[in-house]
Structure 1
Amino acid sequence: MDYRQLKKDIIAYSKSIGIDKIGFASSDPFIEMKNLLIRQQELGYQSGFEEKDIDKRTDPSLIFDGPRSIIAIALAYPSRMKDAPIGKKGERRGIFCRASWGIDYHILVREKLEQLASYIDSRIPDARYKLMVDTGELVDRAVAERAGIGWSGKNCSIITPEFGSYVYLGEMITNLPFEPDEPLHDQCGECRLCIDVCPTGALVQPGQLNAQKCIAFQTQTKGLLADEFRDKLGNRIYGCDTCQTICPKNKGMDYHVHPEMEPSPEIAKPLLQPLLSISNRDFKEQFGGISGSWRGKKPIQRNAIVALAHFKEKSAVKELIEVMKEDIRPVMRGTAAWALGKVGGSEAKEALLEAEKEEQDEEVLQEIKKGLDFFTIKDEV
């Protein structure tokens, strides 16, 4: 088999099925990434969502028998929403990050990889491969960097010359000996805008992220949001794009090449107040098709409450009181109590004082106290 010609044919085929960028890498262990992950683990910077076994994350031979090469792909997604609804007083809106616009990218990228695999099967019947999209063991960023898809930016995103960092990544480990492509040189230069504007200082230095402090990670947690992050959340209900939108390499990057990725404005920027009482069924029907729904409705609802507090939305007071009094989940009751203090007003204060007498959960009582403390501060001012 002429693998050089096969590689050219695979590249041509990938373009015909809508893969925006493709690269080939060796299947050698990712030693540098392993050292970085060990350091991240030592510092407590991991999110906890990753594969726990660092060796599996960095050595293809531990998850695939006889790897010879890895094929990496990238699909470009839009950075701007057409006909985006504008929130206003009484109709405040939240925002899902761009990587959660349109169909769940895991589905779309996997479909492209499966099409690629079928083509390879038609050419090499005894070919073997393993497909991965985000949830696989290997670090997508490390594979994409080695395969020449883009360079690893200071914001820990893969940045491509053609599409900026607005790309979804996937890869395929194979038993075929493809010639590797050349990695790209780092093009961030002296720029450190992403580090300087990170809302929580999660980018501790170029290429190093403390995931525990990252707003994107915090929006996906299910417990009470730590105090230090509440005022940083803004109206984000899933994810954070700050380190991407500030990046000069993303200026003017907005590609609408995949119809499946086009955001539905009412899903990507939903009204906040209806989220407080949405049923499981309605949540699944409305948001189940996007990647931002993977943790269920609880984090989204909690974040919606924090966003209403951010706006100090008076029209939401009655609904927040109902959540504080009636919701069976302590996280929701507590977050609503804190939010009522932020929003303020006599109705909110009276409800908090009443709830303080009736609430049994200690964590919720602490949040009620925080809510009432806002009134003490206002009185002092």
Structure 2
Amino acid sequence: MNADIKNKIIKYSKEIGIDKIGFASADPFVTMKERLRVQQENGFQSGFEKGTLEERTKPDLLLPQAKTVISIALAYPSKMKNAPRSVKGDRRGIFCRASWGEDYHHVLRRKLNLLEEFITNMYPEERCRSMVDTGELSDRAAAERAGIGWSGKNCAVITPEFGSYVYLGEMITTLSMEEDTPIEDQCGTCNKCVDACPTGALVQGGQLDATKCIAFLTQTKTMLPERYRKKLGNRLYGCDTCQTVCPENKGIDEHRHPEMEPDPEIVKPSLEPLLTISNKEFKNKYGKISGSWRGKKPIQRNALIALAVFKEETSLPSIIKVMNEDPRPVMRGTAVWALKEIAPTAETKHLLQSFKTKEEAPEVLEEVEKALADLSSQGGMYV
């Protein structure tokens, strides 16, 4: 009977475009709980996590009498067609691959809703609870136990078919079903992701210091610590480094879902126009992608940093305008840093000295003082 139910669910999942599905017991996730406890004790959490340690590792706290966790995976593209080039005068930023196309939370939620409806139509007495990324339960732990893939050293679930380029979601249900067998770890001695991490956020295989992770840093709304700024490069949201270096992702590029296809002008946008984009314009252009969830402020701050990394001199008038006119201290302070990075000249020093007399925000004044000190220490033409 259980096998028959499971086969029906698997068959239906294929019909609605779920690329991979797995079934796991709803027993407590003991190993994940210990991993999360260590992460918490070491101060490695991002602050975006939802729920207590108990809620994140005990499915029956989220759905009483839970018997099974159904994990699903949808493969997303890793390559973009007709990507615009980033050239002098039109420098481009980039959104990570997980933010290409329609917000994956909506895409997976629709699939899970259909799956939930299918199950409850067959078994009205059974209950289900679905979640995608923002729920309490760990997507990674559920997918690992359900045989979707193994948990890589880059803290992503790696599937044999699609590498780690998959979105994950899960459903807790009171319906009892046969469990799938987890896939053994296949990372072996490979350490490429750990070695390539720009900030050393992968402190060991499978352990992430989220506070150092560029994917997290691009989403913060405060002044970005100076030690991380140049490491951002032209990233506006997220980071793909630990995925692009993974041998398991070599040659993987799935285009299975039209709604996940990237619009090149949205996911690789011109940087300078972002500095002055209005809330309405931002929502209209970027509102459908997951990278917009924190609003325009982090994206704009990151655009300033990217222009500075590019040393884009043509953007100086726009950066100076932000420094003088933007009402947000984080933007003014970042503009001060960007100005100094692009144009370490005597003229910049005079501009900053004049600007300093009218600025009141402590965090901005701190950036001005640091910039002036840097310019003075360089000597010669800069003093």
Task: Give the TM-score band, short-chain normalised.
Answer: over 0.9
2:348 aligned partner: 348
SS at match of 2:330: helix
1:260 aligned partner: 259
- What TM-score comes out, normalization by structure 1 length? 0.98
The answer to whether the aligner puts 1:85 opposite 2:84 as a matched pair is yes
Aligned residues between the structures: 380
- State the Cα distance separating 1:369 from its structure 2 match: 2.0
- What TM-score comes out, normalization by structure 2 length? 0.97
Structure-2 separation of matches of 1:23 and 1:349: 60
Structure-1 separation of matches of 2:28 and 2:265: 44
- State the Cα distance separating 1:131 from its structure 2 match: 0.5
What are the superposed Cα offsets for residues 151-207 of structure 1, whole Å, 9 maximum, x if unpaired? Answer: 000000000000000000000000001011000000111000000010000000000
What are the superposed Cα offsets for residues 110-136 of structure 1, whole Å, 9 maximum, x if unpaired? Answer: 000011111112211222100100011
SS at match of 2:338: helix
Structure-2 separation of matches of 1:347 and 1:80: 43
1:57 aligned partner: 56
Q: How does 1:1-381 map onto structure 2 within 5 Å?
A: 2-344=1-343, 345=345, 347-379=347-379
SS at match of 2:259: helix
Q: Contact (CA 8 Å) 1:109, 1:170: kept in 2 or not?
A: yes
- State the Cα distance separating 1:286 from its structure 2 match: 0.5
What is the one-letter code of the residue matched to 1:362?
P
- State the Cα distance separating 1:348 from its structure 2 match: 3.4
Q: Identity of aligned pairs, percent?
A: 61
What are the superposed Cα offsets for residues 44-92 of structure 1, whole Å, 9 maximum, x if unpaired? Answer: 0000000141100000111111101010000000000000011100100
What is the one-letter code of the residue matched to 1:351?
L
- State the Cα distance separating 1:372 from its structure 2 match: 2.5
Structure 1 unaligned segments of length 5 or more: list them.
none
- State the Cα distance separating 1:363 from its structure 2 match: 1.1
Structure-1 separation of matches of 2:101 and 2:371: 37
SS at match of 1:231: helix
CA RMSD of aligned residues (A): 1.1
Structure 2 unaligned segments of length 5 or more: list them.
none
What is the one-letter code of the residue matched to 1:108?
V
- State the Cα distance separating 1:349 from its structure 2 match: 3.3
- State the Cα distance separating 1:281 from its structure 2 match: 0.3
What are the superposed Cα offsets for residues 276-298 of structure 1, whole Å, 9 maximum, x if unpaired? Answer: 00000000000000000000001
- State the Cα distance separating 1:272 from its structure 2 match: 0.4
- State the Cα distance separating 1:380 from its structure 2 match: 5.5
- State the Cα distance separating 1:16 from its structure 2 match: 1.0
Structure-1 separation of matches of 2:380 and 2:46: 40
